[in-house]
Amino acid sequence: MIVVLLLLLAGLQYKLWWGEGSRAEIRQLQQTLAAQRAENDRLRGRNEALAAEVTDLKEGLEALEERARWEMGMIRQEEKFFLLLEAETPQGEMR
């Protein structure tokens, strides 16, 4: 009877420590879940920013104008374009 109980206990311990649903597997799954939640939060923030940009582009002209200025280099008819270049420093000198 004792041998049967010891075998039963060993079988249960095996499942607890090394089998399916073991403590190590649960710990690994929790780490994977935490990483996935962090990734989801990052992507959710990105999606919200993109949705806000889409709304701005649909509803307002300021966002369109800003995008045209920065991405396409466009200016208004009455504006003048100035391009400022930094002075080159001789090699070996620090600013």
Q: What is the mean pLDDT of residues 52-79?
A: 81
Annotated domain spans of the chain: 2-71
Label each residue of the chain as H, E or C: CHHHHHHHHHHHHHHHHCCCCCHHHHHHHHHHHHHHHHHHHHHHHHHHHHHHHHHHHHHCHHHHHHHHHHHHCCCCCCCCCCCCCCCCCCCCCCC
* pLDDT tens by residue, 52-65: 988 877 887 777 78
Band of the pLDDT at 94, cuts 50, 70, 90? low
Q: Read off the pTM.
A: 0.49
* pLDDT tens by residue, 28-41: 999 999 999 999 99
pLDDT at 85 over 90: no
